[in-house]
Chains A and B, each alone.
Chain A
Amino acid sequence: MTTQNTLIDVAPGHVDVIGLDTVYRRRGEGDPVLFFEGQGYSGRWIPFYEELAATFDVIVPDHPSFGETELVDPINDFNDLSVHYAAFLDALGVGPVHAVGQGFGAWVAGEFAAIYPERVRSLTLISPTGTLPDEDEKMVDPYRLDREHWLDAALGPDRDQYNFVIDSDEDGVNRVLTDYKERIGIARVAWNPRYSLRMEHRLARVTAPSQVLIPEEDKLITPSVARRYSELLSTAAPVTIVGASAPTQHLLVIQEPAQIAQKVVELASQAS
């Protein structure tokens, strides 16, 4: 299990996915969980993964342009990303998974599940982005936020206690470079539009049990986005994860790893 304020070092694996050297981390035993990471914590084994690994075989690939996985020209939209992850599972010889995603990763998970519903045993979306927000909600432009403002918004006033997860041991220049690289990966598929009208049509294909988990305060994603996911997935309303010591924020996987892992376990128990 996680040691206080220290990350477990899980060695990265490499697998060739249609010619792309894809880096991933994997640990635990049980049914496979495929985690689609969000922005800000790629290339490391965060406490949430370790919580999941107590029950599951947890597989965390770095998206193209995240961590050590490079971005290649043939990946231009969410369809390409979905094909990439189907091929990734094929390359590892992994069958249907419990798909879990956070933030941008939740959007990827939703698109993947809509195209390959047979490969998804359950679907957990955490503070997701990707659906069309209500017209009267102003979307935050995440690309314009510098690192400090983005972290303020993503973790709230107590962000410093999560430095051991977020900052790793990178210096200032390397942190900027890491952020820039991750944002290239996101912008490649989600610069314009910053929502998916395709999912309005496709998500109905998902029949596996699903849930949408949201923080008490999300300063990056407006509330209607998660609500819309729930409607499109015909599942219950988004579940608010309440913080043990402070209100949860956008990066609630970092703030409340045990609570969220428990939710994933509970949903998985409903899967066929």
Chain B
Amino acid sequence: MTDIKPDRKLLFHLFMNGNDGFMPHMDEGQRTSNYIDLPNEEFSHPILAQDQMRRYVDNLALGELLGFDSSVIMEQRVPAILPSSTVLSSWVLARTKGLRVGALGPSSTTYASPIKMAEEIAMLDVMSGGRFFVAYPMGIGPAFYQTGANPTTARRRHHEFTRLVSRALNEPGPFEHRGEFFNLPYVNLWPKPLHKIETWMPASGSRESQVEAARARHTYITFLSGTKGVVRYLEQFRRIAEDEFGYTPPPSQLGGTVQVYVAESDKQARKEFEAGLLWFYQCVLRANFEESFPPGATTWQSIQGLLQSGFVFKPEDLTYDAMVNEGMAIVGSPETVTRKLEDFREETGVGQVLVVADGGGSPEWMVRKSTELFAREVMPHFRPEGGRPIWDDEGRQSGFNTLSEAGARWPGVPRDMIAKIDGKLYNAHNYHVDDLRVPVDGKPPAFPKQ
């Protein structure tokens, strides 16, 4: 959870769906969805995939120049080409210097061991100088058909898994873990991360996720909801935190996801954005109940609550006006988008916004145009004077950029490197220097501390 100063009204995280393939429209043929089994031979040519991935990481790396508070990397399988958020994150981190990068997606269901995920998180944090954070989604329903993970035990396993990852990242090792799904006698992470990794819990209103986020004090980020849904889910989350865990979550622990498009005027924004947005809902999000909700991924009680409240998830039936009116998309001139974001902040109480900037089917130039207008003309209204992103405002908190900095902060080493040569022990570190080649007589000398 990030501490936010009072004059920083919102944190903005740049996010891309990355779904810009050329999958068939749902009105063609008998296909119930484009998830799961859309043939790769026909719809995912490697040249197309390379261009999609290039565009995806290029646009997210631009988050640094644009001044977003972070770029957040998706993990999504068919029909997207983003099956590893950590691999994609490493690319964006390597191409930026100060930007924070979050992986929204390393999914417990795709890992055999929590240690592997913890290692990847720690490596990315260390290699990037402490700029990495992570979100732990359960994964969308169709993913269970793709990966074979059992949806009926996934949540139990996910909770044990992510708690263990957090312990491995934050507690001294080795320690032993005894759980239902994992018994690991030697949890001992090498390397440890450079800083305390912020964690998010992205969810679409499931009580189980809300309880887990409140318990672990993860940042709770709502997904796929209009403003009313965000208000309802965050209210549920606040109540759980207060009633069951005894604290009131600050705005910095609350986030919402909004599709955003900015152009010169409201009229022009609609003209540029409408078709791409509708394409996304009609061609990407459409799936039948059984595919969206594989058995047990959502508890029976949650499904009961959902259905009995009259929920009918038919994204293909959503109109542009409905999405805009319900706050699922904020579209317009910079002035309109600023005003609507301010309304969204006041209505929901969020302190963080995940800005979905690619809208689905929009061509690359539109994405670039919209994000630049957003950065120049919208974000400054929600920031302290100077308009800096949080990572530039606060400076780097951990790690180093230069070797002189590393030397100044060198912590020393716990032991010398000892090698036995001709029956005697030497310091291997300076054995090659004649003047320093002195046997250490079985008692390793301490390395001189700075």
Q: Which one of B145, B152, B289, B296 contacts A176 once the chains associate, using CB atoms below 8 Å?
A: B289
Question: Complex: how many Å from CA A191 to CA B154?
Answer: 12
* Inter-chain contact A177/B303, CB cutoff 8 Å: yes
Q: Is the CB of B290 within 8 A of A143?
A: yes
Which of chain B's residues have a CB closer than 8 A to the CB of A169? none
Q: How far is the CB of A226 from chain B (nearest CB, A)?
A: 25
Whether A116 is near chain B, meaning CB under 8 Å from some CB there, is: no
Q: Which residues of A contact B295 (CB under 8 A)?
A: 143, 180, 183-184, 186-187, 191
A-B contact pairs, 21 of them (CB 8 A): A73-B156, A143-B290, A144-B32, A144-B36, A144-B145, A144-B290, A146-B288, A177-B300, A177-B303, A177-B307, A184-B295, A184-B296, A184-B300, A186-B295, A187-B152, A187-B295, A187-B296, A188-B150, A191-B144, A192-B149, A192-B150
Residues of A within 8 A of B36 (CB): 144
Main secondary structure of the interface of B (DSSP, over half): helix
Query: Is B291 part of the contact surface with A, judged by Cβ < 8 Å?
Result: yes
* Shortest Cβ gap from B79 to chain A (Å): 16
Given contacts A176-B289, A177-B300, A177-B303, contact A187 B294 (CB under 8 A): yes
Q: How far is the CA of A90 from the CA of B148 in the complex (A)?
A: 35
A180 and B293 within 8 A (CB): yes
The answer to whether B308 has its CB under 8 Å from any CB of chain A is yes
In whole angstroms, how far apart are the Cα atoms of A181 and B152 in the complex?
Answer: 11
> Interface digits, B127-159 against A, CB 8 Å rule (1 contact, 0 not)?
000000000000000001100111111001000
Q: Which of A35-59 contact B (CB under 8 A)?
A: none
Nearest CB of B to A150, in Å? 9
Judge whether B404 is part of the interface by a CB distance below 8 angstroms: no
Nearest chain-A residue to B289 (Cβ)? A146
Shortest distance from the beta carbon of B114 to any chain A beta carbon, whole Å: 19
Question: Which 7 A-B residue pairings sit nearest by Cβ, starting from the closest?
Answer: A183-B295, A184-B296, A188-B152, A192-B148, A187-B295, A184-B295, A191-B150
Distance in Å: Cβ of B157 to nearest Cβ of chain A: 11
Give the distance in Å from the alpha carbon of A228 to the alpha carbon of B294 in the complex.
29
Residue among B150, B156, B296 having the largest count of chain A Cβ atoms under 10 Å: B296
Q: Please state if A144 and B151 are interface contacts (CB–CB under 8 Å).
A: no
B304 within 8 A of A: yes
For B, the interface residue count at a CB cutoff of 8 angstroms equals 25
CB-defined contacts of A176 to chain B, threshold 8 Å? 289, 307
Within 8 Å CB of A73, what residues of B? 156, 180
Residues from 65 to 101 in B contacting A, C-beta threshold 8 Å: none
* A143 contacts across to B, CB distance below 8 A: 145, 290, 294-295
In the complex with contacts A176-B289, A184-B296, A191-B152 CB distance below 8 A: yes
Cβ-closest chain B residue relative to A194: B148
Bound together, the chains give a CA A187 to CA B149 distance in angstroms of 11
Mask, B230-251, CB within 8 Å of A = 1, is: 0000000000000000000000
Contact assessment for B153 and A181 in the assembled complex, using a CB-CB cutoff below 8 Å: no
Tally of A interface residues using CB under 8 Å: 20
Per-residue interface assignment for chain A, residues 129 to 147, with 1 indicating a CB less than 8 Å from any chain B CB and 0 otherwise: 0000000000001011110
**B residues apposed to A, CB below 8 Å:** 32, 36, 144-145, 148-153, 156, 180, 288-291, 293-296, 300, 303-304, 307-308
How many whole Å from B441's CB to the nearest CB in chain A?
Answer: 58
In the complex formed, the residue of B with least CB distance to A73 is B156
The answer for the CA separation of A71 and B151 in the assembled complex, in Å, is 14
How far does the Cβ of A89 sit from chain B's closest Cβ, in whole Å? 25
Q: Is the CB of A173 within 8 A of B308?
A: yes
B293: which A residues are within 8 A, CB to CB?
180
- Asked if A76 CB lies within 8 Å of chain B CBs, one says yes
Contacting residues, chain B, for A183 (C-beta < 8 A): 295-296
Minimal Cβ-Cβ distance residue in A for B36:
A144
Greatest chain B CB density within 10 A among A141, A144, A146 is at A144
Chain B residues lying within 8 Å of A184, measured Cβ to Cβ, are 152, 295-296, 300
Closest to A188 in B: B152
Look across to chain A and name the residue whose beta carbon is closest to the beta carbon of B291: A144
The answer, among B148, B180, B294, B307, for a CB contact under 8 Å with A173, is: B307
B149 proximity list for chain A (CB < 8 A):
192
Determine which of A141, A146, A186 lies in contact with B145 in the assembled complex, contact meaning CB atoms within 8 Å.
A141
In the complex the two chains form, what is the Cα distance from A76 to B149 in whole Å?
13
Q: Give B149's nearest chain A residue, CB to CB.
A: A192
User: What 0/1 readout, one digit per residue, does chain A (97-128) give for beta carbons within 8 Å of chain B?
Assistant: 00000000000000000000000000000000
User: Measured between C-beta atoms, what is the minimum distance from A147 to chain B in Å?
Assistant: 9
Q: Smallest Cβ distance from B80 to chain A, in angstroms?
A: 20
Q: Which of A141-194 contact B (CB under 8 A)?
A: 141, 143-146, 173, 176-177, 180-181, 183-184, 186-188, 191-192
A183 to B289, CA, bound (A): 13
Across-interface contacts of A188 in B (CB, < 8 A):
150, 152-153, 296
User: Measured between C-beta atoms, what is the minimum distance from B294 to chain A in Å?
Assistant: 6
- Complex alpha-carbon distance, A191 and B150, angstroms: 6
* A57-93 vs B, Cβ < 8 Å mask (1 yes, 0 no): 0000000000000010100100000000000000000
Nearest CB of A to B140, in Å: 15
Contact of B150 among A141, A180, A181, A187 (CB under 8 A): A187
Closest to A186 in B: B295
Give bound CA distance, A85 to B288, whole Å. Answer: 35
CA distance in complex: A188, B145 (Å): 14
Q: Min CB distance, B427 to chain A, in Å?
A: 54
Residue contact A180 to B303, C-beta cutoff 8 Å: yes
B35 to chain A, nearest CB (A): 10
